[in-house]
Structure 1
């Protein structure tokens, strides 16, 4: 009997060994980030996307290890922002996501089905694309919500910059900057500062000897746009961080600038391109809308269908837009004016609302559409082009200062949440 037990146990042990041998790694944890993790498959996705984009643009890339390091850092920051969003109760519903995708498709002059086919051809998995887009919207809202409260711009600041721009002949050029940041650790010692400075000098030497800026940015930069080759996009000199603005004055396209020291580390800049703005006229729209906010009582579908009924009634001449807005709109700022929003630049509205107004011809009424505020229908009453008056110039100057502060504070905010987090990047096996 004992022999049978021994044989049975041995047989079970052999099955267990065979089972373990037959196991195949599906995925694994690459980093622990506070209460969440970064998976190896997520890193693979980011790296593969960067490679596809680089191949399409004929761009060379650094080693896979450098790409994986950058992708890991990007995903760590994304994870921290998503966890913060969860604590804030911030969510993006399927309806909001669908409306964003419709706007993206419309902007590319594609039907929703054609856009889906394009995504599947380029990304492979449409549902994964949807969830990544949802994450991008959420992380954008997290940064915006936490950074906006840090920004105060006084009327005196606007007056000073407006006066300075007029004295300089209203500089209108916009610069597409390349940026590499060799970051300093928090509370760096003198030895650490010297070490980081040496690394920055070596990066500068590589660039001066002809190395591709974008490739070096992907390999070496700790900046937020490292995986985009350090490209920051077009900015007026008054929108960019003051340190950058002072450094690029009188510089030409292709010039290398740096290393420049800041609290974050050592920066190296280049000017990818320069263009003139020369916008003398502004388009304005006179619009009105009706807003219904989904709630526990009013579902997403009920809010949308109710507005669809309003559109049918208005188009058939059975109801008046202003009367319906006064009776049903949940926008306290425009409700009593029949939903009237007055004359304004479309750019002052959230993207989905702005894009809808730009598409509509005068007197057209939109189908129901979703923004972060709820479900809307909108009507454009008229459009006009106006000169850039003193008030408009003040608004532009205010936006320049705001954009500069927002960029600076966004970088500070992301550094703060990373410094405060528990992060353990696991070694690759």
Structure 2
């Protein structure tokens, strides 16, 4: 992986980064710190046995102290999973499901699933510690400060709040340290397992060429949006509005001017222009409508989609001889949901950041430096120039829809909640080496999840895991 690719992976956006951020681990940093500490319930011989293979250790009865309160559910290497921690996690999962209107598995099934997640987390934590990596105190201080800022607290106020809630500050820091170590170890170990051959790259390039027909299109659109569950009267009103826009451009009025005035699309300020893209990165119905048009022509009829009514204009068409892509220069602010910062709260906080930026009360760069939870923070959230397919789809789709200078609403990706600003765009012709590297990135993303699961299975197979029965 080249330096730029690695930097974007560290930024928590590149498609080769972990497909799941161990969200359960991140979300439990505070909960784990709050869970009762029953480490003392393990007698010294028991703790020593946790380092031996499972066959060499005999289950021990739960101590009397466990029967009076919390108790151990599992010993994973030298780490414990407790009933109190499981109860905290279950309650949080149920609260999130209620808020989102989602259904959960039956009680016993959900409990087993969450218990296995906790065991996996302990396996990953111990594996990360065994690598000998270190998280320096300055980095840990920054992570603690991020938690404080997310909760609109000073570091001192955060410590006071933890104390009021009965959470040991040292244990809280150690949980944050473990989370950082796990992310580093997972990224390094999983990436090292992924192998991409030249033959696979050749096949992927051939697939991309066949899928796109070797042609790239620059399409402009005027979108008249139709709300979900719109009544027949609403649909008819929007159709009449779209037909009026089509009549204006047919009469010779500037397509771009009508788009700026009437389009509901995110690119309206750019005259509706979507930018040059391969056919496989455009809606199939768009490609089918413009493929017979000449450059500069407007589709003669409205196009109906789930979003509404579209008027399309073909601004440019490029054949595969010169493989050109639209690169985007963007920056972002990333907040990672945690036990004390829900996804909804993170979205509200980023929405407030957007209002401050638009009102001129703060700059995007300053807010990113002070708040963003990835390595791009020191550069004001700057992600540099990215080519199509370089970033995770949910982020890239939102970024692509923004005009230059535009700021998105808060959006959720697999890594957290983002606020995005597009700084600039440019057309770049990729040489053979760059095209092959782009294909490798696509293949690496496809293989990542399977490689991660294989690595986790191997770690579990090597780990000492002892399940405990609840005390009578």
Higher RCO (CA-CA < 8 Å; seq separation 6+): 2
- The TM-score, its normalising length taken from structure 1, stands at 0.42
